[in-house]
Chain A
Amino acid sequence: MLLIYCPNCLEHREEEEFSYGGEAHIARPLNPETLSDTQWADYLFFRKNPRGIHHEMWYHATGCRRYFNATRNTVTYEILETYQVGTQPQITGTDA
């Protein structure tokens, strides 16, 4: 069970309080109607599945009810940082 630092509550809380929100930093296209089916499908369905660094959304469902982002190593499950929606991660790369 993960121990997650909520950047809004400013404390570590148990994973039980959170739910997973999927890959982060996927912007909704501003004009969906101008996209081809392929482009739209890419936004809709296709997600990264990296071995190593992954930026993802988490939702503090039984806490502040805020979404935030986390950088997690998908191999070790280490959470390297959590940060606010709308900001960029400090840790990037693919290191497994």
Chain B
Amino acid sequence: MIQINRLPAAGRTDQNKALNFTFNGKDYQGIAGDTLASALLANGVDVVGRSFKYARPRGIFGHGPEEPNAIMQIGSGASTIPNLKATQVELYEGLEASSVNGWPSVNFDVMGLIGAFGRLMPPGFYYKTFMYPKKLWMTYERFIRKAAGLGSSPIESDPDSYEKLNQHCDVLVVGAGPAGLVAAREAARTGARVIIADEQSEFGGSLLASTQLIDGLSATQWVAEITGELAAFNNVQRLPRSTVFGYYDHNFLAILERVTDHLGISTASGPRQRMHRVRASQVVLATGAFERPLVFAHNDIPGVMLASSVSTYVNRFGVAPGNKLVLATTNDNAYQTALDWHYIGRTVVAVVDSRTGPNGDLVEQVRALGIQILEGHGLIEAVGSKRVRKALVAPINIEGTKVTGSVQVIACDLIASSGGWSAAIHLSSHTGAKPVWDDAIVSFRPGESKQKERSAGACRGTFGGLDGLLEGANAGAEAAKLAGFGTGVVQFPTPMVDQIVEQPQQALFLVPHNKTTSRAPSQFVDFQLDVSAAGIELAVLEGFESVEHVKRYTALGFGTDQGKLGNINGMAILANALDQDIAETGTTIFRPSYTPTTFGAIAGRDINHLFDPERYTAMHRWHVENGAEFENVGQWKRPWYFPQANETMQQTVDREGLAVRNSVGILDATTLGKIDIQGPDAAEFITRMYTNSYLKLAPGKCRYGVMLKEDGMIFDDGVCACLSENHYLMFTTTGGAAGVLSWLELWQQTEWPELQVYFTSVTDHWATATVTGPNARKVIAKVCQDIDLASEAFGFMDWRDGTVAGVKARVFRISFTGELSYEINVPAHYGRHVWEQLIEAGSEFNITPYGTETMHVLRAEKGFIIVGQDTDGSMTPADMNMNWVVGKNKVFSFIGKRSLERSDSIRENRKQLVGLKTLEPNAVLAEGAQIVNDPNQPIPMAMQGHVTSSYYSASLGHSIALAVVKGGLNRMGDVVYCPAADGSATAAKIVSSVFYDPTGDRQHV
């Protein structure tokens, strides 16, 4: 394979190292040091993709993150990455690339057939055309996505690893171009910890493609020297291939380091990418600038490129992307491209300069070479289909608004254009600094700093070489000083560079055509999304005025380049259409990420089992060994049910429930939150937090309480036990434990600091086994000899210290099943031992381990609520028919009490907790089902409430449900309906929420 555009001079590449790669299935060869883009250009590949809307053929346009066209899918299988810019992909042996736009092929595209149809796709097309009928939107969307082809994400999970690194530094320098390098050197010399990060594969920035001399050295030699100096400092961390993609609050910056992407290996060890999360004392932004293309008719034909990109391919990569160049410019700077092109022995057909009488140093050098300079001319249109063949050039007026003479045709195969430079103000913009337009440099500048940062060099709008170096050095020294290092005075001598005299540039954002903008062939502003100058003007005609609205309406800047190439031109064209200046029109706000960031890097190691901690009880292994299915309750893994051979879940739950009702069951209740509360004011404090009073709760006694938020709504519930004077143990729900502890601390610390009370979470300190059922006492009696278990001695809602299975234990007679129950708490590491002893002791009664599902059924049979299931943050105790738990005569106005008297809390027709009994006894209502009075009423039906809990109860022999129904407590016996999606409705009768043992005798025995 011949690289037809490869030059003998190698630039920064190594011609001795060939690298094979494929593009759209075809084999090519590049060389070490190439980017995918430079290798494609070297091979003479013109068309690399298709545009989003019109499916026009597109070629490589830029050389960095501004590239709008060469958007690639890299690799295949599980480690493939979509939507990378070929200009930023380093070539490696075996690289596989394909265009993301251009299904089924970039050279013959079915969408191309409707390219003509593109004329019918004005801005806002999607809004206008695909809105109706609504039901077809899904169809439209699928078609559009397929046609637009935005790459594909891997289906398999990513085999690579990613990691995050938290770092601090004194000075973070963003960008390792000339300004960044000298800034880092100055800061490093003071002893400050410095990080310097640059997105490219090597440091140097624009200097890597420069022919300038610095200190008498070639630019790349100078870069090598200063990079060597930086390497000698052990207080400097150098991060090439590292994009600072976000500047967040309080000088927190995120850097994406591509560790192995350039090697093309999917690594079994070590991360593919690393996210640095950096808290920097001071920041120097030296992020450079983007060249602006000129906007002219058919400026998107392959072979039209940025002037600086042409120079970069020539000087850095040794690639000449064409033969006959026409350069269109508004400024002196771009003349360097004509010089670069000339010196590699290729033809510069003409320089088309919009200005009259340019005579800067570079202009004169070009003129001296005998190259034709067409002054006061515009390149108004490119001609060609898959490659530029001709340029149409015409004289234009001095304002650059009109074609003033006849059009001449110039044959060429490459057009380089430059409309000047735009400072890369993205990161400064992330901080909230408002960019300021500067007519003198025809660019935005960073606004006043909002954080501890300063910009230096081209990103500050200082486009000259020496001035940028001076700024960089000063910024580095200043940043170090403010971080506490050095004097702020620059120490190193200023690098020597030749000063080049430049004439002022012209601000020209749209090259006029001999037809009006709306009639002229498309003059593209945003290539990727096919936003044209005419489209922006049309948006204004349709009444859009704000830049943010126009952006959304036209999709300007919405591509993967995020407007780095086209935004300024687009805003200027908008400003002109609105008859405003650019400063008035303003710019859109840049937000992170600067360039796309992989989800892998964002997630890092926080995936799979490391995503969230899992909590296990001391008995967990026993549950696993005994075949438990688990459910997640918060972070806890709780046994859900213990199926035996061939049992369905329902059969298991039936068996477990009947065992508890008829003999004895055992539940791992370890996960309930436990808060140890001590202090002379503990009882007073607890009484303020619960609806009922604990002032007279004696040691050895327990009480069930409900906790409200200040708005009167139930927030948590549980039992609180008095362990001794001034010492209490509060049980919370499993999911509510952390929230309750914070809630207690909030009130104690911020409202009642005078109350002496202390809280300690002891959830993990204790393992809890609940033994429940009519035979529970007999089981406990076998393993506990030092507690008098007789009902008179150890009654319901009492607790006792004692020894269970040889272990010191606290035994609570509290019940969530309605049966005789003992909750045995032992130090956590004895949990499994005690559990096994209880199983052993209970074997003669066929003690049955049961899980959370059976627990739910048993408590629902008793009408015991679960906070968060039967309540939803809008339920008062009265709504739950639990006024018995509210202490009406408490002296202190407990949290939430006043709200229970609010007009809304006492209004009629609040939803109230009731039981539902289906008329068909075996029908189990769906939890969450809506309740209506008449299933035949027209839609939308009047909702009366919803089902909160619903199960089949084996011990009752029919289904049961809890529900909240408007005014339900006064509707006992009414029949209501739960309509289902299929149009059917299940009838149910409103009954008491207590289905089983309504008198509560069984738990008191």
Contact = CB atoms under 8 A, between A and B. Distances in A.
Interface of A: 1-3, 14, 19, 21, 27-28, 31-33, 35, 37, 40-41, 44-45, 57, 59, 61, 65-67, 75-77, 79, 85-86
Contact of A28 (B248, B252, B751, B899): B751
A24 B849 CA distance: 49
Contact of B902 (A31, A41, A67, A75): A41
Contacts of A37: 902-903
Contacts of B745: 59, 65, 67
6 contacts: A14-B279, A32-B897, A44-B710, A67-B750, A77-B249, A85-B753
Contacts of A57: 750
Given A2-B249, A3-B250, A31-B893, A66 B450 contact: no
Nearest to A75: B432
Given A3-B251, A21-B746, 12 more contacts: A1-B249, A1-B252, A19-B742, A28-B710, A37-B903, A40-B898, A40-B902, A41-B902, A44-B710, A59-B746, A67-B750, A79-B250
B724 interface: no
CB-based closest 9 A-B pairs: A32-B898, A3-B250, A32-B893, A77-B249, A67-B749, A1-B252, A85-B750, A67-B750, A2-B250
B898 A66 contact: no
A1 B897 contact: no
Interface residues of B, number: 24
B375 interface: no
A57 B745 CA distance: 13
A68 B742 CA distance: 13
Most buried by B among A1, A66, A79: A1
Contact of A61 (B248, B450, B742): B742
A33 B898 contact: yes
B711 interface: yes
Contacts of B252: 1, 3
A44 B904 CA distance: 14
A79 B893 CA distance: 35
B528 to A, nearest CB: 32
Contacts of A77: 249-250
Interface in B747-787: 749-751, 753
Contacts of B902: 37, 40-41
Q: Which of B250, B432, B450, B751 has the largest count of A CB atoms less than 10 A from its CB?
A: B250
A44 B898 CA distance: 10
B897 A3 contact: no
Nearest to B902: A37
Interface string B735-751: 00000001001100111
A44 B712 CA distance: 10
Contacts of A27: 751
A18 to B, nearest CB: 12
Contact of A1 (B250, B750, B901): B250
A52 B109 CA distance: 55
B250 A44 contact: no
A37 to B, nearest CB: 6
Contacts of B248: 1
Contacts of A31: 893
Interface in B226-269: 248-252
Contacts of B279: 3, 14
B749 A85 contact: yes
A41 B250 CA distance: 36
A37 B711 CA distance: 12
A85 B753 CA distance: 9
Contacts of B893: 31-33
A67 B432 contact: no
Contacts of A14: 279
A65 B903 CA distance: 36
A2 to B, nearest CB: 5
A76 B899 contact: no
Contact of B432 (A1, A2, A35, A76): A76
Interface string B452-494: 0000000000000000000000000000000000000000000
A23 to B, nearest CB: 12
Interface in B377-414: none
A86 B753 contact: yes
A2 B711 CA distance: 30
B936 to A, nearest CB: 40
A66 B746 CA distance: 8
B899 to A, nearest CB: 7
A71 B409 CA distance: 67
A91 B325 CA distance: 64
Nearest to A77: B249
Interface in B864-908: 893, 897-899, 901-903
Nearest to B905: A37
A76 B249 CA distance: 8
Interface in B412-437: 432
B903 A76 contact: no
A19 B750 CA distance: 15
A59 B249 contact: no
Nearest to A30: B893
A40 B677 CA distance: 30
A8 to B, nearest CB: 10
The interface centre, meaning the residue of B745, B750, B893, B897 with most chain A CB atoms within 10 A of its CB, is: B750
Contacts of A76: 432, 450
A76 B903 CA distance: 40
A85 B747 CA distance: 11
A21 B750 CA distance: 11
A35 B898 contact: yes
Contacts of B898: 32-33, 35, 40
A32 B742 CA distance: 23
A77 B450 CA distance: 10
Most chain-B Cβ atoms within 10 A of its Cβ — which of A19, A32, A65? A32
A57 B742 CA distance: 13
A44 B711 CA distance: 7
Nearest to A68: B749
A22 to B, nearest CB: 10
Nearest to A31: B893
Contacts of A21: 746, 750
Given A1-B249, A32-B893, A44 B753 contact: no
Contacts of B751: 27-28
Contacts of B749: 66-67, 85
B677 to A, nearest CB: 15
B657 to A, nearest CB: 39
A19 to B, nearest CB: 8
A84 to B, nearest CB: 10
Contacts of B710: 28, 44
Nearest to B709: A44
Contacts of B897: 32-33
Nearest to B166: A14
A19 B739 CA distance: 12
B742 A44 contact: no
A2 B249 CA distance: 6
Given A2-B249, A76-B432, A40 B899 contact: yes
A71 to B, nearest CB: 15
B675 to A, nearest CB: 13
Nearest to B249: A77
Nearest to A24: B750
B752 to A, nearest CB: 9
Nearest to B751: A28
A18 B450 CA distance: 24
A92 B897 CA distance: 34
A67 B744 CA distance: 12
Nearest to A57: B750
B427 to A, nearest CB: 16
A96 B751 CA distance: 30
